[in-house]
Chains A and B, each alone.
Chain A
Amino acid sequence: MERYLLAGSTLFYLLGFAHSLVLLGAGKFRLGRFNFAAIAAGFVLQTAFLYHRGHDLGRCPITNSFEILVFLSWSLALAYLVVGTTYRISLLGTFTAPLVFGLQLFALLLPAAPSAARRGRPDGWLELHASTSLVAYGVLALACVAGVMFLVQERQLKMRVPNSIFHLLPPITTLAEAMRRLLWLGVGLLSVGILSGFFVGLPIAQFKSGVSFLVWLVYVGILFLWSRNTVHSHRVAQCCVGAFLFALLTLPAMYALGGHLSK
């Protein structure tokens, strides 16, 4: 049942992406509702999957790499549904859908994803720490997507004759503002995640706390330098992409080496 929910959700994300691609190819892309609806449907099925999984586990379903990837893509979709529509950057969905789809497909392809098994009584601080951190990663993933869009649009504006995608992307100032707000939100959530980690009643692995703090520091540094006008939006966009890729690469290692959730 769980597997079907997840497969259905992945299919919806693929549909949203494919629909946008077809429209883009035909030069007919509109700020329509299909993409939003596809992501929303994928999100609902994902939520149902996580609910079932969490119910069976008796805790937040982030106990292994498979669940972490699903939770991360769920966080990204959540951030899109909340922030993306607020800024009315529907094309953001065109970039978000493939990322969510890719994460989830990867999760589905993971060998023998363990089935849920109820474990001991969960630690509230641990649940808060892990879930907030992952939602923060989702928000920062969206900042990364906005960063990519910024760099693409900036490149178009620098070209003598821009390509047709130029007409479909939002203004760079709007994208810069989206990056700014997403970074603040992501850093805020990450701060809560890190702080709550100190209250977890389990020893914290040095590697994990070190990497978490490094990721947090990178993002705080970007925001600090940006607010001081020391760096330009172009560099911030590059940093959003680079920092998230770094964070994503360290995520499996953190849970493999220091994860208390599997205990």
Chain B
Amino acid sequence: MNIFCLGLSHHTASVSLRERFAVEDGKLGEMLAALRDEAALQEVVILSTCNRVEVYGLAPDPAAAARVCADFLQRVAGTEAEFYRREQAEGARHLFRVVCGLDSMVIGETEILGQVKDAYAAALATGATGATLNRLFQQAFRLAKHARSQTGITRGAVSVGSVAVELAEKIFGDLTACRVLLLGAGQAGAGVARSLQSRGVRGLIIANRTFDRAAELAAELGGMALHFDRWQSVLADVDIVISSTAARGRLLSPDELKPVLTLRGDRPLFLVDLAVPRDFDPSLNEMEGVFLHDLDSLQAMAQRGMDARGREAARCEEIIDEQVREFFEWACQRPSRSPVAAGS
């Protein structure tokens, strides 16, 4: 098998190095043509994302072609780097692992599949692919779909933001009608607010001790800024409160919340406490209709999601093994005019 993969990723290179090697969309066609000529590649696909830059190629001498590709990429980037190289079956296996999200920073993330599809489409459009890479990539896309449906590799929340969204959806169902109050304008709280917005939350109120910072973040997230000393006045109208202030004492106690709950009627209230020390009295969770989660519980749930995906990764690897074998069987049955030889 004369397929090879050469690249660098978040496993091997820092973000500052990866950004030097990143290929702009507008230059991809030019790069493909230049690389194909210089390394005498029969077929080539370049994958460039924020976490990886990889070249998938087909050449009579893959080891030599990979060395030329490395030189080419370093010359374009203007810096040197350590590339990993996977040849023959390992090259195919690497692509299959990438599309399934097994090689991603967050195992099972699905964005990579779209990025690989785009990279392949760009190569196909410029005529840089042929029968072998066409088959390899199309099989990879089918595999990714199959792995998603047959394993739990993409299931479960694996970040604090996604866990908060999952909990909110299990309380309110549809989040589009939910209103969110963000206490503090720190990055952690803003991140969770963004996650909620990505699931349809429209109303966002931001209260911060420094009002200008609240106004700045409100402008950025499309919310409304509020003076910090007035946040309890809107408590009856919001559904989710995310708190990440640097307050030394508790911001909310059961005695303070009790009259607010009377005003709220039967509507549940979801409190997300990201602050250390905690902003909300833990006993609030014992009140009817109130659901309180702090940083520890959110992180524990995210870790459990990661562990679950890790277990599913083993099942995914088994499917990948089968697919690598299937690809090689196909490759071996091809007529001899093909550059593909028996794989390892």
Q: Tell whether A and B belong to one assembly.
A: yes
Residues of A within 8 A of B (CB): 27-28, 153, 156-158, 160-162, 166-167, 169-174, 176, 226, 229, 232-235
Asked if A174 meets B173 with Cβ closer than 8 Å, knowing A161-B297, A161-B301, the reply is: yes
Chain B residue total in the interface (Cβ 8 A)? 23
A residues near B293, Cβ cutoff 8 Å: 160
> Per a CB cutoff under 8 Å, which of B167, B171, B266 touches A232?
B266
Taking A28-B152, A156-B170, A162-B301 as known contacts, 6 extra A-B pairs with beta carbons closer than 8 A to each other, sorted by chain A number, are A157-B167, A157-B171, A158-B291, A171-B173, A234-B288, A234-B289
Asked if A229 meets B265 with Cβ closer than 8 Å, knowing A172-B170, A173-B173, the reply is: yes
Task: Verify if B285 is at the interface (C-beta below 8 Å from A).
Answer: yes
Task: Verify if B15 is at the interface (C-beta below 8 Å from A).
Answer: no
Taken together as a complex, chains A and B put the C-alpha atoms of A79 and B209 apart, in Å, by 53
Residues of B within 8 A of A (CB): 152, 155-156, 167, 169-173, 265-266, 268, 285-286, 288-289, 291, 293, 296-297, 300-301, 304
> Per a CB cutoff under 8 Å, which of B156, B172, B173, B285 touches A158?
B285
B residues near A153, Cβ cutoff 8 Å: 170
A-B contact pairs, 22 of them (CB 8 A): A27-B152, A28-B152, A157-B167, A157-B170, A157-B291, A158-B285, A158-B291, A160-B293, A160-B300, A161-B297, A162-B301, A166-B170, A170-B173, A171-B170, A171-B171, A171-B173, A173-B173, A176-B266, A232-B266, A232-B289, A233-B266, A235-B288
The interface residues of chain A, by DSSP majority, are classed as: helix
> Per a CB cutoff under 8 Å, which of B156, B172, B285, B304 touches A161?
B304
Asked if A160 meets B266 with Cβ closer than 8 Å, knowing A27-B152, A234-B288, the reply is: no
Interface pair A173/B172, CB less than 8 Å apart: yes
Taken together as a complex, chains A and B put the C-alpha atoms of A192 and B173 apart, in Å, by 34
Q: Which residue of chain B is the closest to A180 with respect to CB atoms?
A: B266
Taken together as a complex, chains A and B put the C-alpha atoms of A158 and B167 apart, in Å, by 10
